[in-house]
Amino acid sequence: MDHFKLKKEEVLILDFDGTMCRLFKNYDLASVVKSLQIAMRAFGVDFSLSSDAFDVFAEVVRQVEDPCRREEALSFADNILTKAEIEAAETGDPVPGVEAAMSFLYRNHYRVGISTNNSEACVRVFLGKYCQAIPIPVIGRHGTKPELMKPNTWSLKRAIGELAGDPGSTIFIGDTERDYQCALKVGCRFWGMAPTEKKREKLSALLSEERLLTDYYDLLQHIQ
């Protein structure tokens, strides 16, 4: 069981949406999709068949050939999504115990960072509201380079690097198979955050029960 402990000398990296909070639970994300659909028409991008706002990046890359025009479209889409994420961060549901755990980790000088496909700006809003704005590394989405989003290892490697860590002494906590695959590629350990039964069902296909966390009170039990 000792293998499933976070030790003082190790680095802890967290995913954000779904892992620290349910960002869009109380937000009308459908309206954001509509805004993106309208905005992307100006760039010749048909985004009408998607209901996932984050799909806009892949569609822009797929449909816009000119590099300059593609970057302009990606930046425009990123600005719309970032604005929505910032607003959602004010109303999203924190995973239970996240404030207590983050406060404990920071006060006791654990090395903690965040690797996410969300914008850094929205994470900072969340940290300011729920986690006393603790100054930790947050590696968020690079809006004009969607190829760097997870499962690409870019943000996870950067977060580890900013904490002067190495993969072999890093634990990454996420809530999706994408996060799990990213951890495997980097070579760090992975724990699953499963605050809902649906998440637990999906993650239990990838992880043993002892590597599944229900919330951050549960995480505190795995800290030495």
Query: What is the model's pLDDT at position 68?
Result: 97
pLDDT reading at 120 higher than 70? yes
Q: Residue 49 has what pLDDT? A: 86
In order, the DSSP letters of 44-108 are T---TT---TTHHHHHHHHH--SHHHHHHHHHHHHHHHHHHHHHHHTT-EEPTTHHHHHHHHHHT
Q: What is the pTM of this model?
A: 0.95
* pLDDT tens readout for residues 132-146: 889 999 999 999 999
Q: Is the pLDDT of residue 1 over 50?
A: no
CA dist 18 and 196 (Å) reads 10
Q: Give residue-wise pLDDT tens across range 18-33.
A: 999 999 999 999 999 9
- Is residue 201 within 8 A of residue 182, CB to CB? The reply is no
Domain ranges of the chain: 2-22+92-220, 29-89
Quickly list H helices, the chain.
29-41, 55-63, 67-89, 98-107, 120-130, 154-162, 177-186, 197-204, 216-220
State how far the Cα of 36 lies from the Cα of 30, in Å rounded to an integer: 10
User: Quick check: 206 and 174 in contact, CB under 8 A?
Assistant: no
Structure-token pair, residue 115 = 């690797």
When pLDDT is averaged across residues 89-96 and rounded to a whole number, the result is 96
pLDDT of residue 50: 83
Is pLDDT above 70 for 55?
A: yes
- Report the C-alpha gap between 63 and 66 in whole angstroms: 9
d(CA 125, CA 133): 8
- Give me the pLDDT at residue 65, please: 96
The whole-number average pLDDT for the span 95-113 is 96
Tell which phi-psi region holds residue 201, choosing left (phi > 0), alpha (psi between -120 and 50) or beta: alpha
Distance CA 69, CA 66 (A): 5
Assess whether pLDDT exceeds 80 at residue 2. Answer: no
Best CA proximity match to 15, nearest among 154, 144, 165, 139: 139
Domain 2-22+92-220 of CATH type 3.40.50.1220 = no
Q: What's the pLDDT band for 4 if we cut at 50, 70, 90?
A: confident
pLDDT at 99 over 60: yes
